[in-house]
Chains A and B, each alone.
Chain A
Amino acid sequence: MNWVLLLEQTLNGFQFGILLFLLAAGLTLIFGIMDLINLAHGSLYMMGAYFAATFTQWTDSFLLGALLALPACMLFGVILERIALRTLYTRSHLDQVLATFGLILFFNEFVRLIWGPIGLDIPLPGLLSGSVELFFGIRYPAFRLVIIAVGILVAFLLYLLVSKTRIGMLIRAGASNRQMVSALGININLLYTIVFGLGAVLAGLAGLMAAPIMTVEIGMGEEILIVTFVVIVIGGVGSIKGAFVAALIVGFIDTVGRSFLPDILGLFFSNDVADTAAPAISSMLIYILMALILAIKPQGLFPPKGA
């Protein structure tokens, strides 16, 4: 077994898990509080990446581009919520799935119209494009470390926001009993908009951080959206803690599975079988995990209380 590769892939898995968490946190809050299945959450991620690409071109600085992209995402999310999604809160899940599916089609086409069908690349600033020596001469790309650091920081801030502030108290109250919160005189519509804006910023942040290491392209949102849904379902829909744990598990299993499954299968089967079966099985791992977990715990690992 190659220990350096294992360490590297573990870090990669951690970094992917962090991105998933940024998306899942918003998605699970939106579902937990507004009872809305938002398939268009992946579009927010995509918009984050495209905004960052454009602003980086304008300002010649990734950092400035990223800082401009965040409020743009928030604005985009709030407008989306006000115009399209607000009417869907009281609808059935089927209606929500359909309408937000329609929004995906719209945004993908919209991006193709504005930015063209060819993917964009965001160049990293010189400082972040190199790699850092961790220990024993093992080097790791600096930007991926930044993603991990930013993700952990955001997770910590989110924890503070949700558990220590008044807004967070309202969010938690909204998640467990919406009617009661609005009966107590809280402006529930404003709360919904705030939560959606927060989710949009987190999704946009994930998108703009993923942009330099993956290509910015149409459809980038859907691929990660489905994995994000796996995350929130495994974690228990509506639970931020569940989203965090599940995101790290899924990120780790997906990344490490892809690079080590051929070796692991090779222990049991002939190399031929291992080489042909491994790519398919490694793409399926997280879905198998999800099916297993739901078969045992139909409500996910951390089902929200009072639901």
Chain B
Amino acid sequence: MNFSPRTSIIALLITGLGAVPIIAAGIDEPFYTVLFSRMLILSIGAVSLNLILGFGGMVSFGHAVYLGIGSYVVGIGTFHAIEDGVQWMGNGFIHMGIAVGVSALAGLVIGAISLRTRGVYFIMITLAFSQMFYFIAVGNENYGGDDGLSLYMRSDFAGLLDLSNDNTLYYLNFVVLLASLYISHRLTNSRFGMVIRGTKSNEQRMKSIGFPVFRYRLVAFIIAGAICGLAGVLSANQTDFVSPAVMHWTRSGDLIIMTVLGGLGTLFGPVIGAVAFLFLEELLSGFTEYWQLIFGPMLVLVVIFARGGIDGMLVGLDRWWNRLNIINKEGDL
């Protein structure tokens, strides 16, 4: 095991995330559990986006669609469970199943059309699809339209989990995040993942070798959508509210920012990015009402100067650490 500074910091971050509700209860600030809960949920979204954006090089500008789908599955489900007394529609397992299914289906349709295009066209067509879903939600007056839906209950896990307890919800989020990290790890190191990474660095070559690039990309696109749909289910439960704003195009932009800020194409990068993003938002908005006045230029500077994101800086730290070790050893000789 290699205990470089980078490994240690990431391990500390993950264990730290696992201990948040305990610490928050200890210092009597339950607000932090909610804040970090949001970090976990957006981490899941960013991890899923990273599968296609970081490893596959597909700049999808509509990933918040799946957050929206997952949220609306919960919103519509609990709406009917309460209004019409349809018990099963409030069930959390069914929410998750349907959210994953519908998100995968949406990913299939969006991917099948978008992946035919390249470059700026791909960015714009994924954006266009997210706008379509956004307007479907806005126009759907039965489920609140523009104003959204308030959830009067959280997903019901048949007595197994009580989500009305914020700590339980927090650990559900945490477990789903760990699961999605595991999937991401296994996937990107599998043969399938290698093909996806290959298409990022040289699509033409992968085609010439004989891989059906389009189909591989499409499957990756669907998997990423399905995982993000799950994040949507959690997000609706977290906020007790669903509105078209969850899939506004700026939300998709936020997900891209998190992924890039943390470190594209690295396992833990998206988690670091999501935590850093929400932390900065919290910090700066406490400091000034006009926090985006600082955050915007910061983003530009990160793009221009910090290639590889925060994880890239940690890699740099590792290199410095190794050099230091070598110098020390030479000193011993």
Residues on A facing B (Cβ under 8 Å)? 31, 37, 84, 87-88, 91, 93-95, 97-99, 101-110, 112-113, 222, 226, 229-230, 233, 237, 276-277, 279-281, 283-284, 287-288, 290-291, 294-295, 298-300
A294 CA / B299 CA spacing, docked (Å): 31
Contact A105:B303 (CB < 8 A) given known A93-B119, A97-B123, A290-B125? no
Task: Flag if B260 contacts A98 (CB, 8 Å).
Answer: yes
**Residue from B113, B124, B127, B250 having most chain A Cβ neighbours under 10 A:** B124
Q: Which residues of B contact A298 (CB under 8 A)?
A: 116-118, 121
One of B16-24, B99-107, B132-140 at the interface: B132-140
Contact A291:B139 (CB < 8 A) given known A226-B127, A230-B128? no
Closest A residue, CB atoms, query B260 = A98
Task: Flag if B299 contacts A105 (CB, 8 Å).
Answer: yes
Task: Flag if A237 contacts B116 (CB, 8 Å).
Answer: no
Q: Which residues of B contact A283 (CB under 8 A)?
A: 135, 138-139
Closest B residue, CB atoms, query A35 = B120
Question: Which one, A84, A226, A280, A291, contacts B249 given CB within 8 A?
Answer: A226
- What's the least CB distance linking B201 to chain A, in Å? 13
Task: Flag if A98 contacts B257 (CB, 8 Å).
Answer: yes
Q: Is the interface of B mostly helix, strand, loop or mixed?
A: helix
Question: Does B26 sit within 8 A of A, measured CB to CB?
Answer: no
- What's the least CB distance linking A250 to chain B, in Å? 12
Q: Which residues of A contact B250 (CB under 8 A)?
A: 222
Interface size on B, residues (CB 8 A): 44
Which 4 residue pairs spanning A and B have beta carbons closest together?
A280-B139, A102-B299, A106-B296, A105-B296
A105 CA / B284 CA spacing, docked (Å): 14
Contact A104:B135 (CB < 8 A) given known A94-B256, A99-B304? no
A290 CA / B129 CA spacing, docked (Å): 10
Q: Which residues of A contact B297 (CB under 8 A)?
A: 102, 106
Task: Flag if B292 contacts A105 (CB, 8 Å).
Answer: yes
A99 CA / B142 CA spacing, docked (Å): 38
Q: In the complex, given contacts A93-B123, A107-B296, A109-B290, what are 8 additional A-B residue pairs having Cβ atoms less than 8 angstroms apart?
A: A84-B300, A94-B59, A230-B124, A233-B121, A280-B135, A284-B136, A290-B128, A294-B113
Contact A103:B296 (CB < 8 A) given known A94-B256, A97-B59? yes
- What's the least CB distance linking B81 to chain A, in Å? 23
A113 CA / B135 CA spacing, docked (Å): 30
Question: Does B295 sit within 8 A of A, measured CB to CB?
Answer: yes
- What's the least CB distance linking A135 to chain B, in Å? 36
Q: Which residues of B contact A102 (CB under 8 A)?
A: 295-300, 303
Using a Cβ cutoff of 8 Å, how many contacts connect chains A and B?
A: 129
Chain B 239-274 residues near chain A, CB threshold 8 A: 249-250, 253, 256-257, 260, 264
Question: Which one, B121, B253, B298, contacts A294 given CB within 8 A?
Answer: B121
Question: Does B162 sit within 8 A of A, measured CB to CB?
Answer: no
Q: Which residues of B contact A277 (CB under 8 A)?
A: 139
Residues on B facing A (Cβ under 8 Å)? 53, 59, 61, 113, 116-121, 123-125, 127-129, 131-132, 135-136, 138-142, 249-250, 253, 256-257, 260, 264, 290-293, 295-300, 303-304
Task: Flag if B293 contacts A109 (CB, 8 Å).
Answer: yes
Task: Flag if A287 contacts B299 (CB, 8 Å).
Answer: no
Q: Which residues of A contact B59 (CB under 8 A)?
A: 93-94, 97
Q: Which residues of A contact B121 (CB under 8 A)?
A: 233, 237, 294, 298-300
Q: Which residues of A contact B253 (CB under 8 A)?
A: 97, 101
Q: Which residues of A contact B124 (CB under 8 A)?
A: 229-230, 233, 290
A113 CA / B292 CA spacing, docked (Å): 11
Question: Which one, B135, B256, B264, B290, contacts A284 given CB within 8 A?
Answer: B135
Q: Which residues of A contact B141 (CB under 8 A)?
A: 276
Closest A residue, CB atoms, query B254 = A101
Contact A280:B136 (CB < 8 A) given known A37-B120, A98-B303? yes
Task: Flag if B135 contacts A295 (CB, 8 Å).
Answer: no
Question: Which one, A87, A99, A287, contacts B131 given CB within 8 A?
Answer: A287
Question: Which one, A37, A88, A287, A300, contacts B129 given CB within 8 A?
Answer: A287
Q: Which residues of A contact B264 (CB under 8 A)?
A: 94
A112 CA / B293 CA spacing, docked (Å): 10
Task: Flag if B300 contacts A280 (CB, 8 Å).
Answer: no
Closest B residue, CB atoms, query A100 = B300
Task: Flag if B128 contacts A87 (CB, 8 Å).
Answer: no
A178 CA / B142 CA spacing, docked (Å): 53
Task: Flag if B260 contacts A94 (CB, 8 Å).
Answer: yes
Closest B residue, CB atoms, query A113 = B290
- What's the least CB distance linking A84 to chain B, in Å? 6
Closest B residue, CB atoms, query A238 = B120
Task: Flag if A294 contacts B125 (CB, 8 Å).
Answer: yes
A105 CA / B113 CA spacing, docked (Å): 30
A101 CA / B113 CA spacing, docked (Å): 25
